[in-house]
Amino acid sequence: MTTLMTRQLFDAQTWSLLAFGKRSRTEHGFGWLDDVGSIAAERGVQLWITGRMTHCFALGHLMGDPDCTVLSAHGVACLLDGPLRDDDTAAWLCTVNLDGTPQPGPLRAYDHSFVILAAASARMAEVPRAQELLDAALLAFDRLWWDEAAGMVVDSRNRETLAVDDYRGANANMHTVEALLAAYSATHDPLHLRRAARITGRIAHEVVTHAFRLPEHFDDSWNAVLDYNRDRPTDAVRPYGSKVGHWLEWARLMVQVRVACTAVGIGYDPLLDSLPTGMYRKALQEGWGADGEQGFVYTVDFDGYPVVRERMSWVLCEGISAAETLRQITGDNSYEHDIDTYAAWAREHLIEDPGQWRGELDSQDRPISAAWSGKPDIYHALQAMLIGRLPITPSLAEGLLRTGASPA
C-alpha cells in the first residue's frame, strides 16, 4: 500500500480542490481562476473549462457535496442555454466574454469533448437536463467531429463555413476517448466503446512505430508530422515534440478501454495488453528527472532528449493517475513507491495552499507562467486524488456509483 500520509493527502486535497473550484462560477459557466483564486476576466468563459468543471462538480455531487449539486446543475444549464451554445452551428463556441459576447475563433473537437464528458458525468449524477445535454453533444459529435473512415476525430472547423482544418491532433482524440468512455458509462451504448477502441488502437500503433514516443501532430491523411512547430517549441496548445504527460494519460486510457471491452466482449487492439506499462516506463525513463532535477519535463524530441524543461502540474497528476491504474491492473506494488514519490513532490513544489495547485514550474521548481498562468481548473488534480480509491471503470462517475468510495 502507498503510505498513510499519501492517502491522507489525497483525501484532504479532494475536498480542498472542490472548495477552491467553487470560486469559478460565472453567469455563463465557469471561469479561469488566477493565482489567488479570482476569476481572470480577460480569459472570458472557456468551453473546455466549463465542461471540465461541470464534470468535476458532478463527481462532487456523487460524493455528497450539496454545493456541487447546485454547481453541476448550473454547468449543465449554461451549456444548454447559455451563449457558449451556438444556434447557427448547433455546436459550442470555444470562448465567450464574461458578458456572454462571443470571441472569434474556430470550433474545436478538443473543447467539445468536455461537453460530452460533463453531460455524461452529470447524467450519472442525475443532474436535471443532463440527458438533454448528452443527446445534443453526441448529435453534434456525429455531425462535426467523427471521421468514420479514419476512425478518429478531426481537430477543428471554421466557425462560419464549417470547413475542416487540415491539421489532425492526438490531443483532441485522447480527450475524445475519455468522453466516449464516459458516454458509454452513461448510456451503455456499445457504439461509444467501439469508437474509443478504434481511436486507441490507431494511437497505439503510432506509439510503437515511433519508439514509444507519441507523435502529437498529423496531416489530414494521418501521417505524423514530427517537425511540427519546431520553431515554436513552447506553443501552449501545439508544442513541438511529444508531451510526456500524454504518454501517461494514454497509458491509463488504454487500460480503461481494454477493461471495458473485455467485460462485454468487444474487440480491441492486442497492443493494449502490453503497451500501457511500456509507455509508463518510457515516461519515467525520459521524462522524470531527465535534466537532473526531479519532476517530469514537459516535452521531448523524437530521440528522447528534453525540449521544454518546465514542469506542468497536470503532467504530475497524470503520473499519479497512470500509476494508480497500473497498480490495480498489474498487481505490481512498485507503482506504490512511484505514487508516494509523486505525492511528496507535489506537496513540496505544487500545492501552494489546500486545493491550490501551481500550474507551472521552471526546471528549478520555481513558479512561472510561461505556457499557462494561474490555476485555471481542478480537473487533472481532482481525478488524480480520486482514482486510487475506485475500481477501473470507463469513467470516474461510474466508479463512484459502483462503490460510493468517497474520501472521508
List the grid coordinates of 408. Answer: 472521508
Closest C-alpha among 348, 346, 326 to residue 335: 326
List the grid coordinates of 114. Answer: 468536455
Cα separation of 317 and 334, whole Å?
A: 18
Q: What single string gives the DSSP state of each residue in 177-202?
A: HHHHHHHHHHH--HHHHHHHHHHHHH
Residue whose grid cell is 497500473? 326
Please name the residue ranges forming H helices in 109-230.
109-124, 130-140, 170-187, 190-209
Residues 199-239 pLDDT 10s: 999 999 999 999 999 999 999 999 999 999 999 998 988 99
23 by Cβ neighbours in 10 Å (0-12 / 13-18 / 19+) ranks as: middle
Instruction: From residue 92, give the alpha-carbon distance in Å to each of 29, 138, 202, 281.
Output: 13, 12, 27, 38
Residue type, 286: E
pLDDT at 408 over 70: no
Q: What is the pLDDT of residue 2?
A: 73
Cα separation of 2 and 12, whole Å?
A: 16
Q: In this prediction, what percent of the chain has a pLDDT beyond 70?
A: 99
Closest C-alpha among 332, 205, 327, 331 to residue 270: 205
Beta-carbon contacts of residue 209 (< 8 Å; ≥ 6 apart): 224
Q: What is the pLDDT of residue 352?
A: 95
Q: How confident is the model at residue 1 (pLDDT cuts 50, 70, 90)?
A: low
List the grid coordinates of 29. Answer: 459557466
Instruction: For the chain, report the end-to-end CA distance as a whole number of angstroms.
Output: 18
Q: How confident is the model at residue 10 (pLDDT cuts 50, 70, 90)?
A: very high
pLDDT at 404 over 80: no
Which amino acids are annotated catalytic?
Answer: 246, 380
List the grid coordinates of 34. Answer: 488566477
Residues 69-112 pLDDT 10s: 999 999 999 999 999 999 999 999 999 999 999 999 999 999 99
Q: What is the pLDDT of residue 297?
A: 97
Residues 333-384 pLDDT 10s: 999 999 999 999 999 999 999 999 999 999 998 999 877 789 999 999 999 9
Residues 35-76 pLDDT 10s: 999 999 999 999 999 999 999 999 999 999 999 999 999 999
pLDDT at 262 over 60: yes
Q: What is the pLDDT of residue 373?
A: 85
Q: How confident is the model at residue 3 (pLDDT cuts 50, 70, 90)?
A: confident
- Are the C-beta atoms of 20 and 37 separated by less than 8 Å? yes
- Are the C-beta atoms of 42 and 36 separated by less than 8 Å? no
Q: Three-state SS for 96?
A: strand
Cα separation of 150 and 156, whole Å?
A: 15
Q: Three-state SS for 369?
A: coil
Mean pLDDT score across all residues of the chain: 96
Torsions phi, psi for 224 (to 5 deg)? -65, 135
Cα separation of 46 and 404, whole Å?
A: 31
Q: What is the pLDDT of residue 353?
A: 95
List the grid coordinates of 238. Answer: 501545439
Beta-carbon contacts of residue 196 (< 8 Å; ≥ 6 apart): 176, 177, 180, 181, 184, 257, 260
Cα separation of 230 and 302, whole Å?
A: 12
Beta bridge partners of 96: 45, 102
301 by Cβ neighbours in 10 Å (0-12 / 13-18 / 19+) ranks as: middle
Torsions phi, psi for 301 (to 5 deg)? -85, -175
